Chain A
Amino acid sequence: KNQVEQSPQSLIILEGKNCTLQCNYTVSPFSNLRWYKQDTGRGPVSLTIMTFSENTKSNGRYTATLDADTKQSSLHITASQLSDSASYICVVSGILTGGGNKLTFGTGTQLKVEL
Chain B
Amino acid sequence: NAGVTQTPKFRVLKTGQSMTLLCAQDMNHEYMYWYRQDPGMGLRLIHYSVGEGTTAKGEVPDGYNVSRLKKQNFLLGLESAAPSQTSVYFCASSYVTGTQFNEQFFGPGTRLTVL
The CA of A102 and the CA of B31, in the complex, are separated in Å by 12
- Which residues of A lie under 8 Å from residue B41 when comparing CB positions? 107
Q: Known: A42-B108, A105-B43, A107-B42. Contact between A100 and B100, CB under 8 A?
A: no
| A-B pairs with beta carbons under 8 A, tally | 62
A108 touches B42 (CB 8 A): yes
Q: Is A43 an interface residue (CB 8 A)?
A: yes
Q: Is B74 an interface residue (CB 8 A)?
A: no
B100 touches A32 (CB 8 A): yes
Taking CB atoms and an 8 Å cut-off, the chain B residues in 59-110 that contact chain A are: 90, 92, 94, 96, 100-104, 106-109
The CA of A89 and the CA of B100, in the complex, are separated in Å by 19
Q: Known: A51-B100, A107-B41. Contact between A43 and B56, CB under 8 A?
A: no
B56 touches A103 (CB 8 A): no
Interface size classification for chain B: 20 to 34
Q: Is B112 an interface residue (CB 8 A)?
A: no
A4 touches B42 (CB 8 A): yes
A101 touches B43 (CB 8 A): no
Cβ-neighbour of A100 out of B40, B102, B108 (below 8 A): B102
- Residues of B at the A interface (CB closer than 8 Å) are 4, 30-31, 33, 40-45, 48, 50, 54, 56, 90, 92, 94, 96, 100-104, 106-109
